[in-house]
Amino acid sequence: MLLRKQLPAFQTVTAGKKNSCYIPDGVKVHKIVLEVGDANGLDVPSGNLIGDIDVWTASGIQRNSSAQKLVQVNSIRGAQYALATSGTPGQAAFRSYPTIHFATPWDSKNRDGLAWNCPPGTGLRIDVQIVAGVTTPVLQGWYYYSPTDGPLALIEKWFSSPLQISGDSNEHSKLPGVKEFLQSLHFFPTAAGIYVDELTVKRGPGSVLWDAVTHLQNQVSMKQNDLQPDTVAAPRYDAMFDEEDPQDSGLPVPNDQTYTFKTSYSASASGTMDIVAVVLGKPE
């Protein structure tokens, strides 16, 4: 059975800055559920309540993404992992509960294998940015844990960053955050509604791993593996390299990153497109 405990109080709960909470060492953390709200009942998907959520240990940052991207990527695993809320939007009692999963409860073979052991000195910290101008913000939550049973070893890390794009397609020999054991890549549509509509992945000069997979084909593949794709008019493209078997499948990435990712777009593009890379590896 997993134990539950309220998060220690955030050191600050202030709009316009990142607010930090330290989880005590000596436990194995499975997930953290944040509880956020404000006087005006703002919601998380709008981006008007909270922004970036960063996960740190004493050795460095292990995850960084916006709250909006966090809840979107979580929802891929099924409706039960989508953003939970309580109350009525627009009212002061409205609350949202974005969740940071360290374990992988969707993996029936090994639900808790990637939970984070936090022996003395780990220094697990959560930073949550509250958007400037939010009135009377609420920031608290709870976490699920069990006794530690080893060091902090193999963990799931998230790296969020903008990707430079131009024209109808681009070939990327290096993508930010792509290293170690790549579980998934998530390409978010631009502010102008331009999205990735085709992805090709090559290893070395001639080995094609994904051959011009359109966003519609990818959505079908995800559904066949009990995943929930984004099917809006300008969708997010989720390249789920672990879709057949979480933890036991994925894309091993050597230090020289011998992969090429070709992204084609729904229209001629310029500027940047946000991506999130989810990888398995040692702590940073």
The token pair at 137 is 């913000």
Q: Which CATH architecture is the domain 3-153 placed in?
A: Sandwich (2.60)
- Asked whether the beta carbons of 96 and 43 are under 8 A apart, the reply is yes
- Asked whether the beta carbons of 122 and 158 are under 8 A apart, the reply is no
Question: Does 247 score more than 80 pLDDT?
Answer: no
How much of the chain is helix, strand and coil, in % rounded to 5? 10, 50, 45
- At CA 260, angle to CA 62 and CA 54, rounded to 5? 15
> In angstroms, what CA-CA distances link 5 with 36, 62, 218?
17, 22, 39
Name the phi and psi angles at 256, rounded to 5.
Answer: -85, 0
- Asked whether the beta carbons of 225 and 239 are under 8 A apart, the reply is no
| pLDDT, position 31 | 98
DSSP annotation string for 155-179: EEEEEEEEEEEEEEEEEES--TT--
High-pLDDT (> 70) share of the chain, %: 97
**Of 195 and 178, more confident:** 195
The rounded mean pLDDT for the chain is 94
Residue 190 CB neighbour total at 10 angstroms: 21
Bridge-based pairing state of the strands 95-97 and 84-86: antiparallel
Averaged pLDDT for residues 150-161? 95
How sure is the predictor about 259, in pLDDT bands with cuts at 50, 70 and 90?
Answer: confident
Residue (of 199, 161, 171) closest to 276 by Cα position: 161
| pLDDT, position 254 | 76
Question: Does 249 score more than 70 pLDDT?
Answer: no
Query: How far, in Å, CA of 274 to CA of 276, rounded?
Result: 7
Query: How far, in Å, CA of 49 to CA of 138, rounded?
Result: 10
- Asked whether the beta carbons of 45 and 111 are under 8 A apart, the reply is no
Q: The whole model's pTM is what?
A: 0.95
Query: How far, in Å, CA of 249 to CA of 2, rounded?
Result: 27
Question: Does 111 score more than 90 pLDDT?
Answer: no
pLDDT digits (tens, 9 = 90+) for 6-59: 999 999 999 999 999 999 999 999 999 999 999 999 999 999 999 999 999 999
| pLDDT, position 240 | 95
Bridge-based pairing state of the strands 180-187 and 251-253: antiparallel
Please state which of the ranges 62-66, 95-99, 110-114, 216-220 shows the lowest mean pLDDT: 110-114
> In angstroms, what CA-CA distances link 91 with 30, 39, 42, 51, 86?
31, 7, 8, 20, 11
| pLDDT, position 122 | 97
| pLDDT, position 48 | 98
Fold of 159-281: Jelly Rolls (2.60.120)
Intrachain domains 3-153 and 159-281 with the same fold: yes
| pLDDT, position 38 | 98
Ranges of each domain in the chain: 3-153, 159-281
The token pair at 66 is 């916006």
Query: How far, in Å, CA of 236 to CA of 108, rounded?
Result: 26
How sure is the predictor about 246, in pLDDT bands with cuts at 50, 70 and 90?
Answer: low
End-to-end CA distance of the chain: 30
Bridge-based pairing state of the strands 60-66 and 155-172: parallel
Taken as a whole, the chain contains a residue count of: 284
Question: Does 257 score more than 70 pLDDT?
Answer: no
pLDDT digits (tens, 9 = 90+) for 67-100: 999 999 999 999 999 999 999 999 999 999 999 9
